[in-house]
C-alpha cells in the first residue's frame, strides 16, 4: 500500500497506459524472452515509422480522419484495459490509425497556417529529445509524488475535455479551452507541459521494465505508451500553434 491513498485508488501513473498492474518479473524467463532497452527503442522506431506512413495517407485523404481517430481510440482502450500482452499486434495498428488522423489534421492546419506542420513536428521531437536527455542524466527524477502530480493533472485535463465534449452536444463549450486569448494560450501551454512530463514517466517505465527483466511483450507496451503520449503532445502543440497563429 502506498502512503498516498489516491495512488491506491486510481493507480500509480499519470499515463493511463501505466495504471494497470503487471505481474512481476519471472526469473525463470530466458534472457531472450526478457524486455531490453534496445528492443523497446526498436519497437518505438517501428511505431513511429508506421505513424508517419499513416500520416502520408491521412494528408492525402483527410476524410479518413474521424474513422481513423475512432479506430485508434478503440485500439488504445483494448491495449490498455484488455490485453497489454497483445500490444505487439494492437500497437502497430494504433500507430497507423493515429498517423492517418494526425496527417489529416495537420493537412487542414497547414492549409490555414502555412509552415505550422513542420513547427509542430520539430517542437514535438525537440521536447522528446530534451526530456530524454534530462531523464537519462538524472536532471529530472520521477518519484511517487511526481507521478501523483502528473496523474492528477492528466486526469483533470481529461475530465475538462470530456465535459467540454458533452457540452458541445448542447451547443455550448468551455470557452477558454479553444479561445486564442491569454487564458486559452496559457491553458494550452499548461497542457503541453503536462503531456511532456508524461514522457518522463514513459522513459522511467521502459527503463525499470528492462532493468527488472519484464516479459518481452512489455517492449511493445512501453513503445505503445510512448506513442500515446507523443500523439497527445503533438496534438496539443498543434493546438497551441493554431491559437498563436490565429492572433496575427
Partner 1 sequence: MSWNTIIFGGMFILSLFIFINLSKVKASKKQLDRPDRINRFGDKKPEDDIKIIRGLDENK
- 142 contacts partner 1 (rule: CB under 8 A): yes
CB contact at 8 A, 238 and 230: no
Question: Per-residue string for binding with partner 1, 99-118, x by CB under 8 A?
Answer: ----------------x--x
Termini Cα distance of the chain: 52
To the nearest whole angstrom, how small is the minimum distance from the Cβ of residue 147 to partner 1?
Answer: 6
CA distance 3 to 144: 10
To the nearest whole angstrom, how small is the minimum distance from the Cβ of residue 82 to partner 1?
Answer: 20
What 3-state DSSP class applies to 83? coil
CB contact at 8 A, 17 and 224: yes
Residue list 179-208, contact with partner 1 (CB under 8 A): 203-205, 207-208
- Write the DSSP symbol of residue 63: G
> How far, in Å, are 20, 162, 212 from residue 24 at the CA level?
12, 34, 9
- 129 contacts partner 1 (rule: CB under 8 A): yes
- 212 contacts partner 1 (rule: CB under 8 A): yes
∠ Cα 144 147 148 (to 5°): 85
Q: Which residue has the cell 490498455?
A: 80
- Name beta bridge partners: 34: 215
∠ Cα 192 154 183 (to 5°): 50
- 149 contacts partner 1 (rule: CB under 8 A): no
- 22 contacts partner 1 (rule: CB under 8 A): yes
Residue list 27-56, contact with partner 1 (CB under 8 A): 37-38, 40-41, 44-45
What 3-state DSSP class applies to 143? coil
- The three three-digit cell numbers of residue 245, written as one number: 497563429
Among 87, 96, 128, 153, binds partner 1 (CB under 8 A): 128
Q: Is the dihedral of CA 181, 174, 105, 95 positive or negative?
A: positive
The site that binds partner 1 (CB under 8 A) totals a number of residues, namely 43
Among 5, 30, 138, 171, binds partner 1 (CB under 8 A): 138
- From the list 11-19, 83-91, 160-168, 169-177, the region that binds partner 1 by CB under 8 A is 11-19
To the nearest whole angstrom, how small is the minimum distance from the Cβ of residue 41 to partner 1?
Answer: 4
- 24 contacts partner 1 (rule: CB under 8 A): yes
Contacts with partner 1 by CB under 8 A lie at: 12-13, 18, 22, 24-25, 37-38, 40-41, 44-45, 115, 118-119, 121-123, 125-126, 128-130, 132-133, 135-138, 141-144, 147, 203-205, 207-209, 211-212, 214
Amino acid at each position: 500500500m502506498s502512503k498516498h491513498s489516491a495512488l491506491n485508488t486510481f493507480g500509480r501513473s499519470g499515463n493511463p497506459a501505466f495504471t494497470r498492474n503487471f505481474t512481476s518479473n519471472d526469473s525463470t524467463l530466458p534472457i531472450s524472452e526478457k524486455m531490453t532497452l534496445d528492443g523497446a527503442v526498436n519497437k518505438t522506431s517501428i511505431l513511429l515509422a508506421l505513424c508517419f506512413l499513416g500520416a502520408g495517407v491521412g494528408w492525402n485523404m483527410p476524410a479518413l480522419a474521424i474513422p481513423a481517430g475512432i479506430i485508434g481510440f478503440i485500439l488504445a482502450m483494448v491495449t490498455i484495459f484488455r490485453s497489454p500482452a497483445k500490444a505487439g499486434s494492437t500497437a502497430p495498428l494504433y500507430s497507423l490509425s493515429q498517423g492517418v488522423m494526425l496527417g489529416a489534421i495537420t493537412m487542414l492546419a497547414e492549409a490555414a497556417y502555412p509552415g505550422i506542420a513542420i513547427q509542430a513536428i520539430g517542437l514535438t521531437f525537440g521536447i522528446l529529445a530534451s526530456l530524454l536527455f534530462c531523464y537519462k542524466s538524472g536532471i529530472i527524477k520521477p518519484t511517487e509524488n511526481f507521478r501523483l502530480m502528473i496523474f492528477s493533472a492528466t486526469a483533470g485535463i481529461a475530465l475538462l475535455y470530456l465535459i467540454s465534449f458533452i457540452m458541445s452536444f448542447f451547443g455550448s463549450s468551455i470557452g477558454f479551452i479553444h479561445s486564442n486569448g491569454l487564458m486559452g494560450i496559457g491553458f494550452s501551454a499548461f497542457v503541453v507541459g503536462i503531456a511532456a512530463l508524461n514522457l518522463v514517466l514513459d522513459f522511467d517505465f521502459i527503463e525499470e521494465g528492462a532493468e527488472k527483466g519484464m516479459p518481452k511483450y512489455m517492449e511493445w507496451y512501453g513503445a505503445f505508451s510512448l506513442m500515446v503520449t507523443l500523439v497527445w503532445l503533438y496534438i496539443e502543440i498543434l493546438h497551441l500553434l493554431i491559437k498563436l497563429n490565429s492572433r496575427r
